[in-house]
Structure 1
Amino acid sequence: MSAAEVVHYMLTALFAAAAVRALRQAVLTRTRACRSRVDHLLHAVMALAMAVMPWSWGGALPELPQSLFFATAALWFPLTAVKCGQERRLSATARRLPYAVGMAAMTWMSYRAAGHAHQAVAEGVPTAHQAMRLSHFTGGSKADNIVTGVLALYLLTCSLRSLTRDMPTLRATAGTADNPTSLRSVCNRFWDGATAMGTAVMLLMPH
């Protein structure tokens, strides 16, 4: 088994677990707000798509519908940031911005896959998967690299912030078993950070 395959398996396991968690939250959430359920469902769809993306058979998923779906999802998070006027729009939008950027990264990957598939058909390359791999090694346009780099850098920053935010208080949090809210917050930030890092890795690696 090659190193690339090991990374693929790890990403698939990560996003499959994230999809199950998001679906569970969508079903079991106690809030009646539609926004929360839609958020979790969008995360589940994204995680499922990311789970199959590393593999050659993941290219069977239609790229253009994916791009349209995730572009709409990217707009959903900032446009629905303010909930019943309970907080300022700027702070609410900033809090949901990492989710929007994650959806935008998925849109970008789907868009690039669609473009590479079209190029592969035009040039007679056997599969879209091979075209994506060839494009990665030969290098895309400068603009493509800039967009990919900016998205990956932002996601890595968000990931490190989420994963390290609770480190000084992990011992105290672990000792407060009667405080489920704190434990839930730590868990949420872990999954946010892990999925953001996985998305950044997917942006930078050949598929």
Structure 2
Amino acid sequence: MTGWILTVVFAGAGSWLLRHGARSGVPAAVRISHGVHGVMAAAMIAMVWPWGMDLPPAPWLTALGLAGIWFLASTRDAGGVHHALMAAGMAWMIIIPAHHHQHPVPAGILVASTALVAYFGLATVPWFTAAVYRRASCAGAHAVLSAGMSVQLALPLLAHTG
């Protein structure tokens, strides 16, 4: 059931950003950024399902590395850093899944994963606030993507607590 919920979450947010980026008059850098977000949302949908993690990691990691570089190079603000961290968090989920099956999970992986869960969970707040109080058009989608990242990173950790 969680897979379907996250699929809807990522598909909805990714579609919103793709649609916003496709509008006329949107600057090229914003159009590209929204396109990259759409691709990352599709990748998050794939990661929700077991077959997604069976895909070869090299293309994923290359694409996510390029996405992170794009966000850092194209926007020199906190939003760009956040989006680059999101790409890094997705890369983390590709690199470390085998370690989540170890008992106990290595301490460094547990600490880093917990920090990412906390970061993306807390990062949801300013995006949500901007969406509600400033009516920032894409902030709601960013809030949803951050919350979804936090949940997806938390699931393997929660599997080890029960």
TM bucket, shorter chain: 0.7 to 0.9
How many residues are paired up?
Answer: 157
Q: After TM superposition, what 4+ stretches of structure 1 lie above 4 angstroms from structure 2? A: none
Cross-structure match for 1:43: 37
Normalised to the residue count of structure 2, the TM-score between the two structures is 0.83
Q: With CA pairs under 8 Å and 6+ residues apart, which has the higher RCO, 1 or 2?
A: 2
| 1:105 alignment partner, one of 75, 78, 89 | 89
Question: Gapped runs of 5+ residues in structure 1?
Answer: 1-5, 82-91, 117-131, 170-181
CA spacing shift, 1:142–1:57, aligned 2, 3 Å = same
TM-score by length of 1: 0.67
Q: Which has the larger radius of gyration?
A: 1
Aligned-CA RMSD value: 2.2
Inter-partner Cα distance in structure 2 for 1:107 and 1:99: 13
**Which of the numbers 96, 110, 120 marks the counterpart of 1:155?**
120
CA distance in 2, matches of 1:165, 1:28: 21
What displacement does 1:28 show?
A: 2.1
- Shift, 1:67, TM fit: 1.4
Structure 2 residues without counterparts, runs of 5 or longer? none
- Deviation by residue 1:73-101 (Cα, 9 ceiling, x = unmatched): 112212222xxxxxxxxxx4223222111
Taking every aligned residue pair, what percent have the same amino acid on both sides? 24
Trace 1:1-207 onto structure 2 (pairs within 5 A).
6-31=1-26, 33-81=27-75, 92-113=76-97, 116=98, 134-135=101-102, 138-165=103-130, 169=133, 183=135, 185=136, 187-206=137-156
